[in-house]
Amino acid sequence: MSDSDSQFQIEREFGLSHSDFHRIFPRIEPTARRISASQFNVVRSDGRQLEINLSVEKIRKLGVLKIPYMQIMFRFSGWSGAQRAEFFKNFERSFQKGGG
């Protein structure tokens, strides 16, 4: 079995709110289908698939600051390691927040 035929799953924490995700993700994956408020599917023309599940949004308190965060589960099917790395590079860059 080649690397691109494998299933790969990873869960990561991101400092995002659900509204941030719902606003930004369709810009970077225009073909993504929203299955529910917490689940998205992406099917690429070459057959690669990606399922994304969002956890419940949580709040981290740092003094007076309240920062939203959530766990995001990514399930890749048919993606090579290089393709997943490129996806995450673009994903993380798209969700970066600037500071002053």
At residue 46, the 3 state secondary structure works out as coil
Q: 3, 81 in Cβ contact below 8 A? A: yes
Mean pLDDT, rounded, for 63-77:
96
| pLDDT number for residue 1 | 39
Does the domain spanning 3-94 belong to CATH 1.10.3720.10? no
| pLDDT number for residue 95 | 84
Quote the CA–CA distance of 7 and 26 in Å, as a whole number: 23
CA angle 68, 74, 78 (to 5 degrees): 160
Quote the CA–CA distance of 55 and 44 in Å, as a whole number: 24
For 35-56, how does the pLDDT look when each residue is reduced to its tens digit (9 = 90+)?
999 999 999 999 999 999 999 9
Whole-model pTM?
0.87
* High-pLDDT (> 70) share of the chain, %: 91
The token duo for 2 is 């080649």
The token duo for 48 is 């690669």
Sequence spans of domains, the chain: 3-94
